[in-house]
């Protein structure tokens, strides 16, 4: 049984999922509201997973970050690379042509993929 299925209400949940996959029926408020309602997500995380609001907020902020191979992505990894080189954890620079495979994301939306910088 999937982890997100509550055994006490498993059957209605599975039926709703099946309807959504088939493209019929209405979507519940619960299916659309978590994107906008952090308080509900935090309450659920506390009740079901015993996660603090702070831990939930950190994941919330991370998960709402857009997925792209852009200047921010490259800058983050170059910063980590410079740190690792300064700490003698590696001697190699990151070569994004070896690290990333942008074709999948390009197929979804080419605007989400910038050309990589030289190894850093």
Question: pLDDT tens digits, residue range 12-65?
Answer: 545 555 555 555 444 444 444 455 788 888 999 899 999 999 998 888 877 776
Q: Tell me the whole-structure pTM to 2 decimals.
A: 0.50
- Largest CA-CA distance found in the chain, in angstroms, rounded: 57
CA gap 40, 59 in Å, rounded = 14
Query: pLDDT tens digits for 59-98?
Result: 887 777 678 899 989 999 999 999 999 999 999 999 999 9
CA gap 99, 53 in Å, rounded = 34
């Amino acid at each position: 049984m999937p982890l997100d299925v509550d055994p006490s209400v498993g059957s209605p949940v599975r039926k709703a999922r099946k309807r959504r996959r088939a493209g019929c029926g209405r979507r519940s408020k619960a299916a659309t509201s978590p994107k906008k309602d952090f308080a509900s997500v935090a309450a659920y995380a506390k009740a079901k997973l015993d996660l603090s609001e702070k831990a939930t907020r950190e994941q919330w902020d991370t998960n709402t970050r857009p997925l792209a191979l852009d200047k921010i992505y490259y800058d983050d990894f170059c910063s980590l690379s410079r740190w690792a080189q300064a700490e003698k954890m590696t001697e190699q620079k990151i070569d994004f042509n070896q690290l990333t495979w942008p074709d999948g994301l390009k197929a979804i939306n080419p605007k989400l993929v910038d050309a990589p910088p030289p190894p850093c």
